[in-house]
């Protein structure tokens, strides 16, 4: 099923921000906004929900910490205990100060690497994926807002022109 979207091109991020607020105020649905750089506050202006990536980062860090503790306990206490520098080799708690850097590094390692994988999976950025950018100028110095057409197309075009759009194009979205 395909539907019509209007692509409005802007040349300034402040104009884009006020346009997004005005379009949302008029109860139109913004499909996507393409920008060459992150625009602060755009997600809130579009009405997007907050991301849950921080929660997943915490969970991945907990997994890394668990793996580090299990690995160190098995290697240094159970499997191959060694007397290194006079430290007792039979107690995990007595060796804890020596294990803290390893636990920290494994926590960061797991959180960082699993977050990258999660980001790529969530945003569907697979190797050799074709770009979905509708206009190559949005990677340089232009901003594009896609608004779905529900109702009178001409009224929506007039609204977008009022908000400062430099170009307007109607396309079919698949």
Same domain flag for 43 and 20: yes
Rounded to whole angstroms, the Cα distance separating 78 from 38 reads: 50
pLDDT band at 123 (very low <50, low <70, confident <90, very high): confident
Same domain flag for 116 and 158: no
Judged against a pLDDT cut of 60, whether residue 174 lies above it is answered with: yes
b/e map 114-145, b = 16+ CB within 10 Å: bbeeeeeeeeeeeeeeeeeebeebbeeebbbb
Same domain flag for 60 and 41: no
Domain coverage including residue 10: 3-49+132-173
Chain mean pLDDT for the chain? 88
Same domain flag for 146 and 101: no
Same domain flag for 57 and 116: yes
Within a domain: residue 29? yes
Structural domain total, the chain? 2
Same domain flag for 79 and 99: yes
Same domain flag for 30 and 74: no
Q: Residue 68 carries which DSSP code?
A: H
Within a domain: residue 127? no
Within a domain: residue 28? yes
Within a domain: residue 19? yes
pLDDT, tens digit, 9 for 90 and up, residues 108-121:
999 999 999 998 88
pLDDT band at 12 (very low <50, low <70, confident <90, very high): very high
pLDDT the model gives residue 1: 44
Same domain flag for 107 and 143: no
Which of 122, 143, 161 is the last residue before a domain boundary?
Answer: 122
pLDDT, tens digit, 9 for 90 and up, residues 23-73:
999 989 999 999 999 999 999 999 889 888 889 999 999 999 999 999 988
Same domain flag for 63 and 111: yes
Same domain flag for 82 and 114: yes
Phi and psi at residue 162, to the nearest 5°: -60, -35
Number of H helices, E strands in the chain: 5, 4
Same domain flag for 151 and 105: no
Judged against a pLDDT cut of 70, whether residue 2 lies above it is answered with: no
Same domain flag for 61 and 100: yes
pLDDT the model gives residue 124: 86
Tokens 């969970």, located at residue: 59
pLDDT the model gives residue 87: 66
Within a domain: residue 112? yes
Q: Domain with 8 in it: what CATH number? A: 3.30.70.120
């Amino acid at each position: 099923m395909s539907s019509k979207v209007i692509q409005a091109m802007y040349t300034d991020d402040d104009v884009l921000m006020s346009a997004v607020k005005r379009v949302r105020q008029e109860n139109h649905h913004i499909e996507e906004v393409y920008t060459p750089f992150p625009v602060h506050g755009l997600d809130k202006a579009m009405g997007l929900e907050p991301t849950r990536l921080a929660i997943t980062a915490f969970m991945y860090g907990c997994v890394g910490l668990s793996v580090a503790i299990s690995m160190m306990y098995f290697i240094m206490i159970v499997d191959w205990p060694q007397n290194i520098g006079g430290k007792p080799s039979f107690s995990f708690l007595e060796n804890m100060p020596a294990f803290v850097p390893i636990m920290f590094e494994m926590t960061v390692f797991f959180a960082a690497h699993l977050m990258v994988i999660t980001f790529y999976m969530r945003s569907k950025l697979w190797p050799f994926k074709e770009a979905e950018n509708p206009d190559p100028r949005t990677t340089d110095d232009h901003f594009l807002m896609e608004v779905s057409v529900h109702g009178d197309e001409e009224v929506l075009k007039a609204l977008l022109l009022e908000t400062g759009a430099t170009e307007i194009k109607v396309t079919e979205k698949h």
